Amino acid sequence: MSEVLGWRGPLGETVSRVFDFLGGGWFAILVVPIGVGVAFVFARRPWAALDFVLASAVAAGICQLLKAAFARSRPDEILLPLDNGSFPSGHATNAAVIAVSLGLLLRRAWVWVLGMLYLVAMSFTRTYLGAHWITDTLGGALLGAGVAFLVWCLLLPRIHRERYPEAAAKPAPDITASAAGLPGGRARGRTPHPRGGR
């Protein structure tokens, strides 16, 4: 941690304070989940919206419970007026939820790359400001990623049908009928020629 604190300067502190605003407080707890949820609803993906909002709420709740349980002190070099528990980092938790949830829901490589960069930057700036020990941000990242993944697994069947409606509307083939050549399956053997043909 001392190596990170040695890099402090006016520009780095300004950038870190921007990340402090983006990753915590009412902006991260309310604006981001509601904004992303509304965007998914407009895109006709209400289950994706529920996934993101639910993951954000559950992760934030567990994070606060863990802060109270561990009651870990903040580093002495802190530059922010914070007094609640240090472990885990709520900012890193929120960033991990955003990165993993959007990566799983949108399934685009560039979303994963940007999400991971955002998570790394958020974690670094928390240590840069002296708000957290490195283990705090690591714990927050694991918490957020784990909750995001578990909520996605819970809602995966509905998310899949929502993303691929044509697959949901198409009935599954009857394997037994297919093997027996009955209606609903593909007959085995040579297709008969029309009468009078060869």
Q: What range defines the domain where residue 116 resides?
A: 2-169
- pLDDT per residue over 19-51, tens digit each? 888 988 889 999 999 999 999 999 999 999 999
Task: Centre a 10 Å sphere on the Cβ of residue 114 and count the other Cβ atoms it contains.
Answer: 15
Residue 137 covered by a domain: yes
Residue 72 covered by a domain: yes
Residue 33 covered by a domain: yes
Question: In this structure, are residues 118 and 91 in contact, taking their beta carbons and an 8 Å threshold?
Answer: no
Which pTM does this prediction carry? 0.78
pLDDT at position 11: 78
CA distance 96 to 144: 5
Residue listed under structure tokens 């960033």: 95
pLDDT at position 111: 98
Residue 186 covered by a domain: no
**Number of folded domains in the chain?**
1
Angle between helices 90-106 and 46-70 (to 10 degrees): 160
CA distance 3 to 22: 25
Residue 139 covered by a domain: yes
pLDDT at position 159: 95
Of 88, 107, 98, 19, which Cα lies nearest the Cα of 53? Answer: 98
Residue 51 covered by a domain: yes
Cα end-to-end distance, the chain, whole Å: 84
Angle between helices 134-163 and 90-106 (to 10 degrees): 30
Where the chain has pLDDT below 50, the residues are: 172-173, 175-191, 197-198
pLDDT at position 6: 57
Residue 39 covered by a domain: yes
pLDDT at position 161: 92
Residue 150 covered by a domain: yes
